[in-house]
Amino acid sequence: MRMSKLYLPTLKEDPAEAEVISHKLMLRAGMMRKHSSGIYSYLPLGYRVIKKIEKITRKHMDNSEAQEVLLPIMQTSEIWKDSKRWDKFGPLMIKFNDRKSREYCLGPTHEEVVTDLVRDEVRSYKDLPLNLYQIQTKVRDEIRPRFGVMRGREFIMKDAYSLDTDYQGLDQSYQAMYDAYERIFAECGLEAVAVEADTGAMGGKDSHEFMVLADSGEDEIAFCSHCDYAANVERATSKKTDIDFEVEAELEKIHTPEIKTISELEEYLEVPAAKMIKAVAMVADGEAVLALVSGEDELNEIKLTNYLQANELRAAEEEEFAELFNSVAGFIGPVNLNNVRIVADQRLKNMSGAVVGANEKDYHLKQVKAGRDFEVEAFTDLRSVRGGERCPKCDQGKLNIKDGIEVGHIFKLGTKYSENMGANYLDENGKAQPIVMGSYGIGITRLVAAAIEQNNDQYGIKWPKAIAPYQIIILPLGNDDQVQEKSEEIYQNLKAQGWEVLIDDRSERAGVKFNDSELIGIPLRLTIGSRSLENGVVEAMIRENNKKLEIELDNLEKEVEKLFADIS
């Protein structure tokens, strides 16, 4: 491709709207442009990268005997009501009516469509197992679209759905996808790790996320320093021990004027946070819930959501303290709190002698004891782990917390969808059984951003060769006829051999060409100038490490092959 013809609007400066490096570079390298918040057009360079990732993904999906289909983006509300997720997905879905007032959504995911498809088609155990996949645009009206394609409202996903007769079959299908995912990410040149994950709105039991470690990642992952335990902090646990409260004394009301937070209380009462109870007022599907964790811990909202089986969980607003809790913000506590569900973290099992809010402005209670002064409906794991805590699996290593980008997610769904939607097959005895399902996603466009996060420097992108938009870029320098002719000849020859080649035939200064080639990150650059031609050589630069070397013109094609083989 000739750069003079390529639609490649590069930018010299970082766009103000972009916070993370991949977003900046995708805009600067002319890979995409924003249409609206979280919605992008992919330009030629960006789309080439996407197509390469799709091709690698297809190869490994096909090799694991998944079959490609294309499912509708526009989905009826009926199937989502059947699966009981029309409300659960809630505002994340774009919903609308057609001219006959029939209700639809734009597909944020396709479990419903697949289950609906097979409930009419799959009759007997002989039709199973099946794994159907597609690569398609998904639409999710994210609350906070950000970081470019990392969290878009419209994005490309590869989604697959396995259908088995039993859980043993599901385990095999799941493992096949797990293995395929490892191959896909490795072939894309990405370092991705599988971690235990929360199942969220999908439901089901086992689940793993594939994470690319990067500072810009929105997820936190706990890794054990000793064994292979790795889990998203959303669900990670640790060997944190119960708190020993020791004291056992009469309930006492204390005046704490304007003292609202745990740290203010620590200072005012000279009691460590570990001896206090943090009471967090939450609203789960409209219902008031008070969550108790140790003063030194953070409430894990995912764990609470899962415990409550809530569709929507949020912090209570200031005015709701009076309305829903009959209490006061900053002074809420579990004692005498009527008609409110109270759930406590399991570390608080022996809770006594604790400090809590008195549900009265400027007052707290001391020496509070669970069971005597109030009841909780359950003690369960509600806290987020912190770095340095002991591993729950080996009990020896310490947990380290790192940031990661979720590029893939696999779930064992079980029979949740098939039961809700009536997708059955007839077993060998002619008895109807629910199909056992799994679901498997890769964020194709997010993966582009993740690859850039992992491979860049101050000059721009350093594409792993498997997903680079072009493999080689030729820079002819100066207007010398000989340089132009030789460059054209090299360009034609390399192309004829099957290389994907860009030639910067623009009449730009050398500096501009160098800068652009580094910005767009083509793995191998060949610079051709009159001096080097006189010496019978071409300057090659490997973008991966910015190493430069001279290669002989006479041997160019062989040398290119050798150099390229060594690039990762």
Ordered alpha helix ranges (H), 9-166 = 21-28, 44-63, 77-82, 86-89, 111-121
Quick one: 293 or 410, whose CB is closer to ligand ATP?
A: 410
- The partner in contact with residue 412, picked from ligand ATP, Mg ion, none with C-beta cut-offs of 5 to 8 angstroms by kind, is none
Q: Give CA–CA dist 543/325, Å, rounded.
A: 60
- The partner in contact with residue 279, picked from Mg ion, ligand ATP, none with C-beta cut-offs of 5 to 8 angstroms by kind, is none
Q: Give CA–CA dist 382/385, Å, rounded.
A: 10
Quick one: 140 or 275, whose CB is closer to ligand ATP?
A: 140
Q: Which residues contact 453 (CB under 8 A, 6 or more apart)?
A: 20, 21, 22, 212, 214, 216, 217, 405
Quick one: 85 or 409, whose CB is closer to Mg ion?
A: 409
Residues of this chain that interact with Mg ion (CB under 5 A) are: 409
Quick one: 364 or 409, whose CB is closer to Mg ion?
A: 409
Rounded to a whole number of angstroms, the minimum distance from the CB of residue 197 to ligand ATP is 8
DSSP character string of 278-346: EEEEEEETTEEEEEEEETTS-B-HHHHHHHHT-S-EEEPPTTHHHHTTSS-TTS--STT-TT-EEEEEG
3-state class of 413 per DSSP? strand
Quick one: 199 or 433, whose CB is closer to Mg ion?
A: 199
Quick one: 206 or 457, whose CB is closer to Mg ion?
A: 206
Quick one: 210 or 307, whose CB is closer to Mg ion?
A: 210
Rounded to a whole number of angstroms, the minimum distance from the CB of residue 154 to ligand ATP is 8
Q: Give CA–CA dist 325/283, Å, rounded.
A: 10
Quick one: 140 or 412, whose CB is closer to ligand ATP?
A: 140
Q: Give CA–CA dist 259/261, Å, rounded.
A: 6
Quick one: 314 or 562, whose CB is closer to ligand ATP?
A: 314
- The partner in contact with residue 551, picked from Mg ion, ligand ATP, none with C-beta cut-offs of 5 to 8 angstroms by kind, is none
3-state class of 120 per DSSP? helix
Cα–chain center distance at 384:
19
- The partner in contact with residue 523, picked from Mg ion, ligand ATP, none with C-beta cut-offs of 5 to 8 angstroms by kind, is none
**What secondary structure letter does DSSP report for 200?**
G
Rounded to a whole number of angstroms, the minimum distance from the CB of residue 213 to ligand ATP is 15
Pairing of strands 192-196, 378-380: unpaired
Rounded to a whole number of angstroms, the minimum distance from the CB of residue 403 to ligand ATP is 13
Rounded to a whole number of angstroms, the minimum distance from the CB of residue 279 to ligand ATP is 28
- The partner in contact with residue 440, picked from ligand ATP, Mg ion, none with C-beta cut-offs of 5 to 8 angstroms by kind, is none
Closest to 520 measured CA to CA, from 42, 25, 34, 12: 25
Rounded to a whole number of angstroms, the minimum distance from the CB of residue 521 to ligand ATP is 21
- The partner in contact with residue 408, picked from Mg ion, ligand ATP, none with C-beta cut-offs of 5 to 8 angstroms by kind, is ligand ATP
- The partner in contact with residue 374, picked from ligand ATP, Mg ion, none with C-beta cut-offs of 5 to 8 angstroms by kind, is none
Rounded to a whole number of angstroms, the minimum distance from the CB of residue 305 to ligand ATP is 13
Q: How many CB atoms lie within 10 A of CB 121?
A: 10
Ordered alpha helix ranges (H), 92-166 = 111-121
- The partner in contact with residue 151, picked from Mg ion, ligand ATP, none with C-beta cut-offs of 5 to 8 angstroms by kind, is ligand ATP
3-state class of 262 per DSSP? helix
- The partner in contact with residue 446, picked from Mg ion, ligand ATP, none with C-beta cut-offs of 5 to 8 angstroms by kind, is ligand ATP
Tokens 């599901």 locate to 170
Rounded to a whole number of angstroms, the minimum distance from the CB of residue 405 to ligand ATP is 8
Sheet holding 472-476, edge to edge: 501-503, 472-476, 524-528, 537-542, 547-552
Rounded to a whole number of angstroms, the minimum distance from the CB of residue 567 to ligand ATP is 26
3-state class of 379 per DSSP? strand
The CA-atom distances, in angstroms, between 177 and each of 64, 133, 413 are 8, 11, 14
Residues of this chain that interact with ligand ATP (CB under 6 A) are: 109, 140, 142, 151-152, 155, 157, 200, 406-409, 441, 443, 445-446
**What residue number has its CB nearest to Mg ion?**
409
- The partner in contact with residue 109, picked from ligand ATP, Mg ion, none with C-beta cut-offs of 5 to 8 angstroms by kind, is ligand ATP
Rounded to a whole number of angstroms, the minimum distance from the CB of residue 443 to Mg ion is 9
Quick one: 409 or 462, whose CB is closer to ligand ATP?
A: 409
Q: Give CA–CA dist 231/148, Å, rounded.
A: 26
**What residue number has its CB nearest to ligand ATP?**
443
Rounded to a whole number of angstroms, the minimum distance from the CB of residue 183 to ligand ATP is 17
Quick one: 301 or 406, whose CB is closer to ligand ATP?
A: 406
